[in-house]
Structure 1
Amino acid sequence: MLALGVDLAAEAANTALAWLEWGPDGCSVREVHCGCDDEMLVDALLSADKAGIDCPFGWPVPFVEFVAAHRSGNVDVPAATRGRDWRRNLALRLTDRVVHDRTGLTPLSVSADRIGHAAMRCAALLARLARAGSPVDRSGSGVVAEVYPAASLKLWGLPHRGYKRPGDLAALGRLVDALREAAPWLDLGACDALCRRSHDATDAVIAALTARAAYRGLTAAPGPGEIEAATSEGWIALPTSPLAGLRPRA
């Protein structure tokens, strides 16, 4: 089984891609590349059994409706809603609120933060995948799933803060050490050094591990009352089992 992880940025320079090959005896990190352009990403994603992309797959439905209303000059703020609550409803997707409720972490707002630039690139990539015949479902049931490495790390009991601080390679190294200790069946091989100097590379590996969890049904799917929003806004795959649950079965 081939699981891919993409740490997607607005530009290729900060985008990382990891290939994880799963066999009966373990999992090997086959390759990790930084500086990935759209062509490389699409070609790789078309070869994956499951891929996790660290980027919002869509925008909040109320935000989309707000922009459409603004264009026609018909913006209407509900009288019973305070400004802050109304803006929060525009800034956060349903999946963002679910992640906060379950992990205490709040993903960056795709409609009110710089991650929106990466989301524009992601939308184009997903469209290219669909045109190439690879099933795309923003709720995660297709080949690709939206992931959030910090949430996966926290749910797996691994360090999830501080490892991205500029110049703090010690914190990043401690995360890699913790990952190797928690998953002795994971062989980083020659990619170990890159993961210790690039948090983009490490996040791509975590994204691929989360993709493996989604492939095995070990992530939380949207419920009946959530599926409509998830198919439009995207849905972050949160692991529902310990990292040990991804151990290959002999």
Structure 2
Amino acid sequence: MTRDELYDEALRLMEDYVHHLDVQLDAPQLMTVAKTSYGYRYAEKGAVQAMLQKMARLVSALRAVRILLAHGFVAEQAAVCRIADEASEDVNFLALGIIHGETYLHKAFIEAFNLEEFEDADRLTETATKRPSIPRDRIHAYLTQNPSAGSDPSTGKAAMKALHKTYSGYVHGASPHIMETYGGNPARFHMNGMLGTPLLDSHVDAFWSYMLRGLMSFAVVAKASGDEKLFASIRQYCRDFEASATRKG
């Protein structure tokens, strides 16, 4: 199995799990949003509903990364990798809250997550919602200090922070990250992708770790759902994926 085939399989499994959980919940209903607009919303706005939405976001983001990599858009795929990484962290955060009991931070996160952007679509500048910001470092702290975490929380938190900061430059367009797209002979900005460059190769090689972290977060969801058989199956798949992906070119 090639690495691309392995990714295809893993993403299908993740998508199937999203649909598996989705049908166990009351379906979202089409509702009036911001008085004059419409959109699907869950009537119940709990941790499970938030977790499911983050899982769907994660799978979609990982697929988007593959498309961007295929066309050489390294800066753009790195920005989407940041989205995928945060979604994966959020899935873990919510699932662990179900396993160990929701904290004040979980409740604040879910409340902020479900806020609408606007109260009235006809008066956007007057009714924009001030969405509370849950600092990412507080989520990192929980992920490294919860009862299921390892014995070295400071190292884990530092690693998460470093990864978060590294990819932040791609999201916000910091100069060092933009200048990665400059070069060649004659030197110029490459705005149509970076195919055939060493920079692309390094991003392609790094992508499998995002896939693995996504899969591992789905294993935690299975644990939170009380499905020990599925948890064991996904955890074993993660081990096989890690072993296979590191061997594939």
Q: TM (normalized to structure 1)?
A: 0.26
Asked which structure has the greater CA Rg, the reply is 2
More helix as a share of residues? 2
* Greater relative contact order (Cα < 8 A, sep 6+): 1
Q: TM (normalized to structure 2)?
A: 0.26
